[in-house]
Amino acid sequence: MTGTGARISGGRMWPWLALAVGAALAVPPAQDRVQERMQARAPDPDILYFASPDAIKKMALGYEGLLADIYWMRAIQYYGRREEAERRPVRYKNLAAMLDITSTLDPDMLDVYRAGSIFLAEPDPVGAGQPEQAVALLDKGIARHPAEWRLRLDKGFIYFWFLKDYRHAGQAWLDGSRLAAAPPWMAGLAAMALSRGGEIETAKMLWRQQLEQSERADIRENARNHLASTEVAETLWTLEFFIEKYKEKAGRPPRQLEDLVRAGFLRRVPVDPSGVPYDYEPASGYVGLAPETKVRYLKVPEEYRASFRRKLEELYGSASGRG
């Protein structure tokens, strides 16, 4: 046709364009309907498509570094997005697998072992509540970086705080203290853990180390919460101790905490680390954090209560001394 000089002119474009826009507008609602059906049928939305770290490493085709970064970001999002975690049947079911994959893809990312072990070990709802998996992750890191003392510090820490296995904690710190780059206080830490009774002091020292030395804001925040919680626990145990002492002396519980000051047990009524006074119910003897407190209380091991009480008894056990 063109050869004869005739021209094929274009037709009208607008009806087709309108149809394209109309169809495009129908796409989002259609997609939403499909997604609704998918969600209604899906038994568990928390799926890890590839679970074998070695298989993923092979399939990375040389882009392991990039894939490790993606898995690390995914692990952080998986752990950090609280609302998303609340919707899962098990909050952090796949966290250990994600960290295992990340550390296989890139064994040199120290944060994967260090921060990852804390994410794993913290009990539900803060973490996955899997301290054994945290130790396994740190062991993987130690095998790769045998000269890295901080991994042994973390391993001892998981044993000490989450597993209450002071012997293994002390051993991990002792091993760490023998490394060339280890700081001098690590041997002291090992000694403290291996001797009985010094648990809470060791714990406070460890959380303080994390607070001062970690470069990660989330880890520092966690350490701050634990230090505040330890302070709260110690104060509550002290208050309970003196309430009992008051009862022994006066034959009835104090009507308010100020009575303990008046009776000479305390110098002043304590407040929690956020400055809010503690709640006290004379009838039940309950003493605890007030609802308006800003402290994010993380459970302090019950075992520490006994040794702390022993210390109080040694100091004030015989008579109504000053607190």
1 CB-side CA count, 13 A: 4
Number of residues that bind other proteins (CB under 8 A): 21
68 binds other proteins (CB under 8 A): yes
Which tokens hold the place of 76? 């952080």
Q: State the nearest-atom distance from the C-beta of 88 to other proteins, in Å.
A: 21
Please identify which residue in the block is written with the tokens 């634990």.
Answer: 226
CB of 145 to other proteins, least distance (A): 12
Candidates 55-63, 141-149, 192-200, 297-305; binding stretch for other proteins (CB under 8 A): 55-63
The residue from 106, 122, 154, 199 that contacts other proteins (CB under 8 A) is 106
Closest CB to other proteins among 57 and 309? 57
Residue 73 found at the interface with other proteins (CB under 8 A): yes
Q: Is the peptide bond before 125 cis (omega within 30 degrees of 0)?
A: yes
Stretch of 8-16, 43-51, 59-67, 123-131 lying at the interface with other proteins (CB under 8 A): 59-67
Nearer to other proteins, 54 or 83 (CB): 54
Q: Note whether 58 binds other proteins by CB under 8 A.
A: yes
CA distance 93 to 229: 26
**Cα–Cα distance for residue pair 12/114, rounded to 1 Å:** 65
Task: Extract the tokens encoding 81.
Answer: 């997005």
19, 33, 65, 201: residue in contact with other proteins (rule CB under 8 A): 65
Rule CB under 8 A: choose which of 46, 84, 111, 165 binds other proteins. 111
- Least Å distance, CB 175 to other proteins, is 25
Minimum Å distance from CB 59 to other proteins? 9
Give the Cβ contact number of residue 41 at 10 Å: 7
Smallest gap from Cβ 203 to other proteins, in A, equals 25
Task: Pick the binder of other proteins from 3, 62, 89, 251 (CB under 8 A).
Answer: 62
C-alpha angle with apex 257: 252 to 258, nearest 5 degrees?
Answer: 105
Please, which residue, 46 or 218, has the CB nearer to other proteins? 218
Residue type for position 109: M
Residue 180 near other proteins by CB under 8 A: no
* Residue 46 interacting with other proteins (CB under 8 A): no
**Residues 198 to 217 in contact with other proteins, rule: CB under 8 A:** 215-217
Residues 6+ apart with CB under 8 A from 266: 242, 257, 260, 322, 323
Q: Where on the chain is the footprint of other proteins (CB under 8 A)?
A: 58, 61-66, 68-69, 72-73, 76-77, 106, 108-109, 111, 215-218
